[in-house]
């Protein structure tokens, strides 16, 4: 399913946009099987994963799913066939490059994340200018593989404006109490939410409900690779690895490599 002009308008105004049933049941099934294949390989000692419970097949959050040790064909095909057009539309036609690609996971262990913006410092004197400057230059998404995904909480419309004193105070509390305007994003398999990384948001799963949610971030291809996404070059350049990827997925990875800094990577605060 393609991103519409309405989806883009909502994203610009609210900082997030949900596309319902963007992917077929067959696609979701293939992704689930890919995760299960990865779990099988980890249980056989072929790859390292963190675990909530090995015997119950409950992995912890897993990053770098496009790296050679964790790669499954289903991940690359999904990016190539379904996601690529959506991502570049969300980036307003910019050519996209890989940044991060993984899976958010929970399993019988409570998880309570504090409210945050990913790439900014709330309360800075030039916070609003910074947020507006980076709006539209990157996008990230959550796409659940299991039913009843109710783990992402956001503050709509907070992505391009200065943080309020109440928001900063709420972010400093362990339970995040008092965050004004907060809502829970409700998703089912086949849905996807694209959201600005500087939207006030958090992951919230105090019951420890089992979760498999694909999560990735992409930048326009003019953005240099930064500290928070640095260090993937050696793995991605493993001989023969990129050759097994579909063409568009391989291109997104190559753009990451092309933007790799010669010297120490900058933080986003330095750009």
pLDDT at 97: 98
Smallest CA-to-CA distance from 76 within 244, 224, 193, 245 is with 245
The CATH class for the domain spanning 5-270 reads mainly beta
The domain ranges of the chain are: 5-270
For residue 52, pLDDT beyond 90: yes
For position 151, what pLDDT does the model report? 98
Q: Give percent of the chain with pLDDT exceeding 90.
A: 93
Per-residue pLDDT tens digits for 138-163: 999 999 999 999 999 999 999 999 99
Per-residue pLDDT, 29? 98
Query: What mean pLDDT is predicted for residues 59-68?
Result: 98
- Count Cβ atoms below 10 Å from residue 4 Cβ, excluding itself: 12
Q: Residue 8 — very low, low, confident or very high, per pLDDT cuts 50/70/90? A: very high
Give alpha helix (H) positions in the chain.
Answer: 5-14, 25-43, 73-78, 84-90, 127-134, 165-171, 233-236, 247-258
- The four Cα atoms 21, 101, 128, 178 give a dihedral, to 10 degrees, of 70
The per-residue pLDDT for range 98-139, each reduced to its tens digit, is 999 999 999 999 999 999 999 988 999 899 999 998 899 999
Q: Report yes or no on whether pTM surpasses 0.85.
A: yes
114 with 176: CB under 8 angstroms? Answer: yes
φ, ψ for residue 152, nearest 5 deg:
-95, 125
15: phi > 0 → left, psi -120 to 50 → alpha, else beta; which? left
270: pLDDT strictly greater than 80: no
């Amino acid at each position: 399913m393609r991103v519409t002009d309405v989806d883009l308008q909502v994203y610009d105004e609210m900082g997030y946009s949900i596309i319902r049933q963007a992917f077929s049941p067959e696609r979701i099934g293939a992704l689930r099987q890919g995760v299960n294949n990865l779990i099988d390989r980890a249980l056989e000692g072929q790859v390292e994963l963190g675990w909530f419970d090995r015997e119950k097949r409950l992995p912890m959050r897993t990053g770098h799913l496009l790296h050679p040790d964790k790669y499954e064909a289903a991940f690359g095909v999904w990016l190539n066939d379904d996601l690529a057009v959506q991502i570049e539309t969300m980036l307003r036609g910019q050519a996209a490059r890989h940044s991060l690609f993984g899976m958010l996971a929970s399993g019988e262990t409570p998880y309570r994340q504090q409210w945050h913006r990913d790439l900014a410092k709330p309360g800075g004197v030039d916070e609003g200018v910074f947020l507006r400057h980076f709006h539209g230059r990157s996008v990230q998404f959550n796409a659940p593989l299991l039913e009843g995904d109710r783990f992402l909480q956001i503050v709509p419309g907070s992505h391009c404006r200065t943080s309020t004193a109440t928001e900063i105070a709420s972010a400093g509390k362990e339970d995040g109490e008092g965050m004004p305007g907060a809502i829970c994003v409700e998703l089912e398999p086949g849905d996807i939410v694209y959201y600005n990384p500087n939207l006030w948001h958090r992951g919230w799963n105090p019951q420890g409900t089992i979760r498999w949610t694909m999560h990735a971030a992409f930048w326009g291809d003019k953005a240099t690779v930064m500290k928070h996404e640095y260090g993937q070059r050696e793995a991605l350049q493993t001989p023969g690895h990129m050759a097994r990827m579909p063409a568009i997925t391989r291109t997104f990875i190559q753009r990451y490599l092309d933007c790799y800094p010669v010297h120490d990577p900058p933080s986003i605060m330095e750009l």
